[in-house]
Structure 1
């Protein structure tokens, strides 16, 4: 009986000491948080990448929109002229519209694929720079852990490093 009381005492003592040790370590742990969406939205390199994409794809997008408007106009004209057209002419124009629509959809898919690929290239470059800036801030300010928004449920504003990362990217670091 005395041995089991002694074991219980030591187990409780060990649990108490462990709790204090963990809380003491937790106080020394320095944690930061970065909102990567905000970085990719507000940092100058991200804005430049977006402007570059708009310049690169703007004309092509406008051409697609113009072609789409022309197709709609042709469809409306066919609807308007339909009562006066022969069956053969109506069928020919409908086939023509179907072909134009199919071609336009293919061009639109290709445009979206090209845009997505280039956007991923540009944003990955910005993300790499942001990760280097985050690491530099972490090293300089002795952070133990820096979390990004996809992994965080709650954070206090005092651990938010997003503005520092944006400033570092804007400064070209």
Structure 2
């Protein structure tokens, strides 16, 4: 490549880069910790509490069955010397089948928990997205990044709008509730 071609190529790159750099200087950016917002908005707290209660009920159910299986195994161990080999093998196989069913039930409940969490959180996340968009439009932000998923290693706290998102989210809920209460009834 000749010097003239290299200089022409560099000039072309610079002419393309300068408008982008100038517009980037005008770009206002903020970030939000969506995970924290999700856990701190009122709806998120309520959803987490409902999920926790559901998980605890499932865990109690599985613990109860697990205790019953342990008791059954202890009984089998104590009585196995008095059993014929065929009966003992039959009971051990039956117990093993019950253990497998319980393990499958536990796996199924994990899948149900993930589905339930997604169902509970999706409407809240959508509303958070709307709140973030309205703040971005109001403050003329060109970009709002998620603190955890964007790869941000460091950013000044002044660019964090998480608290504002939480206040706006919770405020919009109370405003709608108050408006509904104050609305005249027919």
For residues 21-40 of structure 1, what are the structure 2 equivalents within 5 Å? 24-40=22-38
How far residue 105 of structure 1 moved from its aligned partner, in angstroms, is 2.1
1:82-104 alpha-carbon deviations (Å, 9 max, x no partner) = 33433233212202202211221
3-state SS in 2 of match to 1:143? coil
Which residue in 2 is equivalent to 1:85?
A: 83
For residues 145-160 of structure 1, what are the structure 2 equivalents within 5 Å? 145-148=143-146, 149-156=148-155, 157-160=157-160
3-state SS in 2 of match to 1:63? helix
TM-score norm. by structure 1 comes to: 0.78
| 1:116 has 2:114 as partner | yes
Q: Structure 2: which 5+ runs fail to align? A: 1-5, 174-186
After superposition, the CA RMSD in angstroms is 2.9
How far residue 143 of structure 1 moved from its aligned partner, in angstroms, is 0.8
Which residue in 2 is equivalent to 1:165?
A: 165
TM-score norm. by structure 2 comes to: 0.73
Q: Structure 1: which 5+ runs fail to align? A: 1-7
Query: Quick one: distance in 2 between partners of 1:116 and 1:143?
Result: 34
Query: Quick one: distance in 2 between partners of 1:109 and 1:60?
Result: 11
